[in-house]
Structure 1
Amino acid sequence: MTVFINLVGSVVVIVALQLAGMLIFSAMTPFNDLEELKKGNTAVGLAFGGKFLSTAIIIGVSAYTNTSIWHMMLWFAVGYVILIATYWLFELVTPGLKVSEHLQKGNVAIGTLLCCVFIGMSFAISSLII
């Protein structure tokens, strides 16, 4: 019974971390992600999907490499902060490119690039957690 309780507790924490991560990412964009998705904005869908997958990768590696929920949450937080810093660094190193404006206009190339940046960085960040 204890194993079942631990499993349920872990799943609840993982879902909560994923949702919190997505809410934070949504708050970082100057537009409403869900409204853009409802409009069929593929660029925002790609970027948002990349954020979701990269957050899930960091959570997954944190869960796999830690036996304590508290340690998992700590390492997820470290990885997530690095992921957010990556977004801002990407904005900084591309000064002639206002990423959020291109996403809102539906620029699929920017959405695809950002998706790959997030996923690639999540794999790199996850190697630090191990």
Structure 2
Amino acid sequence: MDGFFQHEYIYTAGLYSIVVVAIVVSLAVFELVTKYSTWTEIKKGNLAVALATGGKIFGVANIFRFSILENHSVISMLGWGIYGFVLLIFVYFIFEFLTPGFKVDEELSKDNRAVGLISFILSVSLSYIIGASII
């Protein structure tokens, strides 16, 4: 049975499954953190929320990409991926802190696409920094 799990296709499918679950869980956590309903806003065609959400999805996937490349055990990969995700959550709070003139959630729910784009870029760019620091 050990040989079965060491097969590269099975290993790849396993890592893929773990990251998909991690993305779903991270979106649920982000849903709790934000003041708007992500999927309701996206259903209404709110591009700003879609951009912000897309950045979060990309950011989490990118962090796990680095974690997979740098770690040779699934447990280490998962640990570093979760740690990177926690750091990515701080991006949300940092963005809110750096914009005292407006509330990010309110602007996103009003479909302020400029705020959505900056949110996307912050999540993606900082996911590269977080990922590069994973050992």
Unaligned runs of 5+ in 2: none
Q: Are 1:72 and 2:69 an aligned pair?
A: no
Provide the aligned C-alpha RMSD in A: 1.2
Q: What is the percentage of aligned positions where both structures have the same residue?
A: 35
- The amino acid of 1:96's aligned partner reads G
Q: Are 1:18 and 2:23 an aligned pair?
A: yes
Using structure 2 for the length normalisation, give the TM-score: 0.90
2:87 to 78, 82, 85: 82
1:40 to 45, 48, 68: 45
Other-structure match for 1:127: 132
Query: Per-residue deviation at 1:11?
Result: 2.1
- The amino acid of 1:32's aligned partner reads S
Match of 1:13, SS state, is helix
Q: Aligned partners of 1:61 and 1:50: how far apart in 2? A: 16
Q: Aligned partners of 1:76 and 1:107: how far apart in 2? A: 30
1:7-40 Cα deviation digits (max 9, x unpaired): 3322221111111111111221111100000000
Other-structure match for 2:34: 29
- The amino acid of 1:56's aligned partner reads A
1:83-121 Cα deviation digits (max 9, x unpaired): 111211221121112000000000000000110011010
- The amino acid of 1:48's aligned partner reads T
Unaligned runs of 5+ in 1: none
Other-structure match for 2:117: 112
